[in-house]
Structure 1
Amino acid sequence: TPQRFHWICLLLLSVCLLLWYCHVMRSGLSMNTGLRGYVRVLSSRSASHFLDFRCGRCAVVSSSGQMLGGGQGQEIDRQDCVIRMNAAPTVGYEADVGNRTSLRVVSHTSVPHLLRQQSYFFGREAATRYVIWGPEKNMRQDGKGKIFNALVMLAKKYPDTNIYTVTREKVQYCDSIFQNETGKNRMKSGAFLSTGFFTMILALEMCDSILVYGMIDGSYCSNANHSFVPYHYYEPSRLDECRMYRAHEHAKKGGHRFITEKLIYSRWASQGKLHFVYPPWPPQGHPQD
């Protein structure tokens, strides 16, 4: 009957729409999984446009001279993922900092170091994911972003390398976290967020638990008996870490608020996901296995 034919047509149309919807959703998921604040440079060869990287237990390794002589390398390499910062080397420091690198969070100011050591970072560490952050003037994608242009050239030269940039929206989100935690507007206070801050935000998003190596707590430099420690473990003759921290903390313009940031990390650690294991931060210790 005409009425039955009408219902059959509606049923077929509904089935077609359902199949089309499932296809669109499946395609959308395959393209949009991952962390949306981190976008791959020249991502056409990748399965995901965004950083799709999750880990159970992560080791976040500071570039601080605190790493020297600690013998933490084997423990660091035993974790599911190892996150390092900027261009901090492992060769020659394996006993203290480990050998594996799963991901590097890199400041725009350290990109020239990557360019000078391409065979190391994109040869020896070819499987490493690189997450680059920087101000809009350097990261803009209209041909005028000097650092972004350099990353495009790297991605063309090493098409299998995973290079991601932190989006403008994500940088603004990190600014808002800093303001919520301190009550101070990051820009108005003359501060720049450190690579460590961006690293912590990313680690909290991608890791189930985080073990931090080489970061001192916010009160360390105010202790009368604190020792001389180089700012970077791979630059032993350079400026003392605490002198650098104090200079940045009180700089009226362009300084990293290292001490303030560590006070923020201490509050985050009380939530149980973040553990400062070497040197240990009171009252946090090594998480139980």
Structure 2
Amino acid sequence: MKSLRFHWICLLLLSVCLLLWYNHVIRSGLTMKTGLRGYVRVHPKTRSASYFLDFRCGRCAVVSSSGQMLGGARGQEIDGQDCVIRMNAAPTVGYEDDVGNRTSLRVVSHTSVPHLVRQQGYFFGREAETKYVIWGPEKNMREDGKGKIFNALVMLAKKYPQSHIYTVTREKVQYCDGVFQNETGKNRMKSGAFLSTGFFTMILALELCDSILVYGMIDGSYCSKANHSFVPYHYYEPSRLDECRMYHAHEHAKRGGHRFITEKLIYSRWASQGKLRFIYPSWSHQEHQHD
């Protein structure tokens, strides 16, 4: 009888231990897997990823770096949205009236990371609460010590341990390539193109935001119109190449170009689903869709 009682006590203790262990595993898993799996934080103390981007927003303003932003006086309107998403290292200081002042999240190309490093006091001081999502080719983002851009991000994360720096995973980059191919029927790599920061930004915004208002982005047919305006490619680089000339050069480049015009035709189809609106300049196809 005592032996049977001892047996049941052991089983009960084992069951309690298993239950506690299972609860710990489940809680740890939820902690690790909260957020979007395609965007992984660069840990400030180790070279390994710690957790996924945990960010949701109601109404987002996506602000282009285009010269179209100049003179629009949309800054206050942009800052009035729930979240503000910007691209690369586009500055706000000196352009507040047109582009606003707030930045909730930046989507940054690997080619713009050196700008973050050079101006780290601004980006990780003034914009300390901003989340940074960095995309780039695997050779630059590898975590084995040979990824030049990833190494720079680790350095920034160590220097600014409260920073929020995330990388786009290899699987997510491949997913974005797949979206491009599904929309165009063309293999992105075989066509000699690179996806633009704007493309990664749009896909991320569609995942994060309940609704999206886009500022400063022209539609795919804009540059073919005889009366289109001539503005700088970037609002903060007034002496650089005209935007439409840049778009045409990239669209027809055999290798290494962004398909800006093709991407905007894709956005136009996405906008017809209602979650995405092009506010300034307003895209003509929206006029009958949104009252």
TM-score normalised according to structure 1 size = 0.93
SS at match of 1:283: helix
Structure 1 counterpart of 2:257: 255
Structure 1 counterpart of 2:239: 237
Greater mean alpha carbon deviation, residues 204-213 or residues 14-23 = 14-23
Partner AA of 1:201 in structure 2: I
User: What are the equivalent positions in structure 2 for 1:184-203 lying under 5 Å apart?
Assistant: 184-203=186-205
Alpha-carbon distance in structure 2 between the residues aligned to 1:30 and 1:108:
28
Would the alpha carbon gap of residues 288 and 228 (structure 1) be closer, same or farther in structure 2, given more than 3 Å must change? closer
Equivalent pair of 2:39/2:167 in contact (CA under 8 Å): yes
SS at match of 1:175: helix
Would the alpha carbon gap of residues 64 and 195 (structure 1) be closer, same or farther in structure 2, given more than 3 Å must change? same
- Compute the displacement of 1:16 (Å): 4.2
Structure 2 counterpart of 1:20: 21
SS at match of 2:285: coil
Q: Deviations over 1:28-61 (max 9, x none)?
A: 101221111111112569x961111111111100
Q: Deviations over 1:132-191 (max 9, x none)?
A: 111111111111111111111111111111111111111111111111110000010000
Equivalent pair of 1:276/1:285 in contact (CA under 8 Å): no
Partner AA of 2:241 in structure 1: L
Structure 1 counterpart of 2:271: 269
Equivalent pair of 2:41/2:51 in contact (CA under 8 Å): yes
SS at match of 2:284: coil
Question: Does residue 209 of structure 2 align to residue 204 of structure 1?
Answer: no
Equivalent pair of 1:108/1:132 in contact (CA under 8 Å): yes
User: What are the equivalent positions in structure 2 for 1:1-289 lying under 5 Å apart?
Assistant: 13-42=14-43, 49-284=51-286
Would the alpha carbon gap of residues 286 and 120 (structure 1) be closer, same or farther in structure 2, given more than 3 Å must change? farther
Greater mean alpha carbon deviation, residues 247-256 or residues 126-135 = 126-135
Partner AA of 1:256 in structure 2: H
Alpha-carbon distance in structure 2 between the residues aligned to 1:139 and 1:20:
35
Alpha-carbon distance in structure 2 between the residues aligned to 1:96 and 1:65:
10
Percent identity between matched residues is 87
Would the alpha carbon gap of residues 218 and 54 (structure 1) be closer, same or farther in structure 2, given more than 3 Å must change? same
Alpha-carbon distance in structure 1 between the residues aligned to 2:27 and 2:141:
31
Greater mean alpha carbon deviation, residues 91-100 or residues 222-231 = 222-231
Aligned residues, how many?
288
Q: Which 5+ residue runs of structure 1 have no aligned equivalent? A: none
Alpha-carbon distance in structure 2 between the residues aligned to 1:92 and 1:249:
31
Alpha-carbon distance in structure 2 between the residues aligned to 1:275 and 1:286:
12
Root mean square deviation, CA, Å:
2.2
Find runs of 4+ consecutive structure 1 residues off by over 4 angstroms. 1-16, 285-289
Partner AA of 2:173 in structure 1: V
Alpha-carbon distance in structure 1 between the residues aligned to 2:222 and 2:12:
71
